[in-house]
Structure 1
């Protein structure tokens, strides 16, 4: 009993004492922001048909839909062409900045606003990848996704070095962002623009806005350590809880997809993969699709293999080696889907969701390879090549005191 109590106490201390999975949360941030950014850039010539006034889902239909489901979208604040263009460019900019990891606490919220505003305007224009991105954009708000591989991490490191040298570090950008975005939020609320919206998103916006203010006040005005420790515990619990929800969401997606496939007769007889390969909509490379569909053995193996992997994956989380094998198989499968069926953004979204299960050791090696490659480029250009290896998650948390956390 004492051993069990000690294990529970250690688990609670770990969950409340640090933000777990810094590399996994960074990969999720990079993956989903890159997916959304590439999609917006790719569809820029078609933006009017997808989300704008020229789309088949016109302004009146959108108003009727929003009146019924009360979804959040700033696109319904005005039907002006200039407003639509501004919102679209805003979504592009927030995705790019979140990808770089600049002010991730603020940009994760703005990224969510951009995703929800465009997708909720025309919910019938997307696919399964859009649903995944929709949910993950909300979950990202509660994570500390800029601990590593971000401009925030670089800024925090430089601030620590400056403090170690006895220099005073002043952040003017953060308070300026808080004031400007808070003004916009208050104006939107007082102007009634959020009255018909489901309260979930406005509550998240106000919680983050007020939370940032409380953090700023405590760090500069609190005399003892207790208020800082309390805020750190709340932040770490929110981060770790959001990371757990992301994992559960990925498992739920695969489990439900696998079990629904089992009920289908085409999946039972091993021929389900054959049919989408012969649809013009899903055949950007007809010759390649014919090559896959031409072998009955390949079709059967892929059909049954897909079901087995999707149903089994949630149970393999208890065995790290088996989990890593199935994780690699699923990522390869999504890469094949992206090429053969012409669904690159759906595949990128699913690969980004899968990345939450990647082992930390692999991600650290990946970061090391990237750092060495960047150093080699600097060498060739005559710049400095001294690029440090990324620190472990434990070292990152230990070297990142509460006053400098991103």
Structure 2
């Protein structure tokens, strides 16, 4: 009983004291923001046909659809092309800032607003990757996805170094961003724009805005650290719960997809992969698709292999080695789907979901390799060209240390040359060897020793 209580208390302490999976959530942030940004850039010439007011899915149809399903979209707040162009540009900007990790708490909320606004405007545009991106954009709001590989993490390190040097850290961008977002949120609420559609998203927006204010007050105005510690524990619990939901959602996606495939006759006889390869819509490379479809054995292996991997994946999470092997197979499968079937954004979204299960050691090595490649590409040092902060000590610590001591040189100065050697006693012949030896020892004892501060003097330090 004592062991069980200790194990439970240790688990609770681990979940509450730290945000688990910082590298995994960073991969989610980078993967989904990059996927959405690339999608918006590719569809930029066709944006009016997809989500614009002059598209096939008109504003009247969109209002009827939103009124029936209660979805949230900001594109229906105002009419006209100007509002659509502004929101489309803001969606791309928010994706870039979330990708870089600048103010990730606010940018994750704005990223969710951009994704929901465009997708709920025309829900029939897209593929299965849109559904995954739709869900993960909401889940990212509850995670602390900017702990690593972000500008927020770099700014936090600089703030800690500045505090260690006795400098005062001032954050002007954060309060300004919070004030502007609060004014816009209040204006939209008073104008009645938040009343249309689902009420959950407006409540979430106000909750996050109030939580940011409470976090800032606890850190700046609170004399006791207890309120900030309590808020940190709550944020860790919310983050870990959201990470668990994301992992469960990924397992549910693969499990349902695999079990539905098992029930299909084409998947049972091993010919299901053959038919998508024959569709012109899913054949950007007809020659490659024809080459794969020409081999019946290869089609059977891909069909059965897809079903086995998807059904078995949730059960392999308890075995690390088998899980890593299946992860490599699934990532390879999605890469093949992106190239052969022409579904790059669906594959990117699913690869981002798969990478949440990768081990932390692998993600660390991946990040270190990316940093070295960036430094080599830019021709800079290992820090990627960012100037290292000057480590300055407080005045009191400098006073305690005093002036630095001189370190003896390890090599003689080329200008001064080697130090003079002590003079040797004059050589003379004597009939008494004992007396001659005594005079030699007296001469050596009376010779001046070289100063350790002289160039080349003193013992040579080891290098």
Q: Same fold (TM over 0.5)?
A: yes
The answer (yes or no) to whether the contact 2:372–2:382 under 8 Å persists in 1 is no
Determine which structure has the larger helix proportion and give its number. Answer: 1
Aligned mates of 2:379, 2:121 — CA distance in 1: 48
Hey, what does 1:68 align to over in structure 2? 68
Indicate whether 1:187 and 2:210 are aligned: no
Aligned mates of 1:121, 1:268 — CA distance in 2: 38
Aligned mates of 1:142, 1:292 — CA distance in 2: 43
Measure how far apart 1:377 and its partner are. 3.2
The change in CA–CA distance for 1:104 and 1:386 in structure 2 (over 3 A counts) is: closer
The answer (yes or no) to whether the contact 2:142–2:238 under 8 Å persists in 1 is yes
Measure how far apart 1:205 and its partner are. 0.4
Hey, what does 2:434 align to over in structure 1? none
Correspondence list, 1:101-116, <5 A: 101-116=101-116
The answer (yes or no) to whether the contact 1:111–1:137 under 8 Å persists in 2 is yes
Superimposed CA distance per residue, residues 87-134 of structure 1 (whole angstroms, 9 cap, x where no aligned partner): 100100000110011110100000000000000000011111000000
Hey, what does 1:150 align to over in structure 2? 150
The structure number with the bigger radius of gyration is 2
> What secondary structure does 2:107 align onto?
helix
The answer (yes or no) to whether the contact 1:194–1:202 under 8 Å persists in 2 is yes
Does 348-357 or 367-376 show the bigger shift? 367-376
The change in CA–CA distance for 1:313 and 1:382 in structure 2 (over 3 A counts) is: closer
Measure how far apart 1:383 and its partner are. 9.3
Q: Gapped runs of 5+ residues in structure 2?
A: 389-463
Hey, what does 1:271 align to over in structure 2? 271
The answer (yes or no) to whether the contact 1:251–1:314 under 8 Å persists in 2 is yes
Indicate whether 1:241 and 2:246 are aligned: no
The answer (yes or no) to whether the contact 2:375–2:381 under 8 Å persists in 1 is no
The answer (yes or no) to whether the contact 1:284–1:342 under 8 Å persists in 2 is yes
Aligned mates of 1:387, 1:265 — CA distance in 2: 62
The answer (yes or no) to whether the contact 2:254–2:313 under 8 Å persists in 1 is yes
Correspondence list, 1:5-404, <5 A: 5-379=5-379
Measure how far apart 1:53 and its partner are. 1.6
The answer (yes or no) to whether the contact 2:374–2:384 under 8 Å persists in 1 is no
The answer (yes or no) to whether the contact 1:375–1:387 under 8 Å persists in 2 is no
User: How well do the aligned residues superpose, as a CA RMSD in angstroms?
Assistant: 1.5
Aligned mates of 2:240, 2:15 — CA distance in 1: 7
The answer (yes or no) to whether the contact 1:375–1:386 under 8 Å persists in 2 is no
The answer (yes or no) to whether the contact 1:376–1:385 under 8 Å persists in 2 is no
Hey, what does 1:393 align to over in structure 2? none
Measure how far apart 1:386 and its partner are. 8.8
The answer (yes or no) to whether the contact 1:277–1:289 under 8 Å persists in 2 is yes
The change in CA–CA distance for 1:9 and 1:202 in structure 2 (over 3 A counts) is: same
Hey, what does 1:391 align to over in structure 2? none
Count residues with an aligned counterpart: 388
Indicate whether 1:2 and 2:2 are aligned: yes
The answer (yes or no) to whether the contact 1:371–1:387 under 8 Å persists in 2 is no
The change in CA–CA distance for 1:194 and 1:384 in structure 2 (over 3 A counts) is: closer
Aligned mates of 2:57, 2:159 — CA distance in 1: 49
Hey, what does 2:414 align to over in structure 1? none
Higher relative contact order (CA 8 A, sep 6+): 1
Measure how far apart 1:376 and its partner are. 2.1
The answer (yes or no) to whether the contact 1:143–1:240 under 8 Å persists in 2 is yes
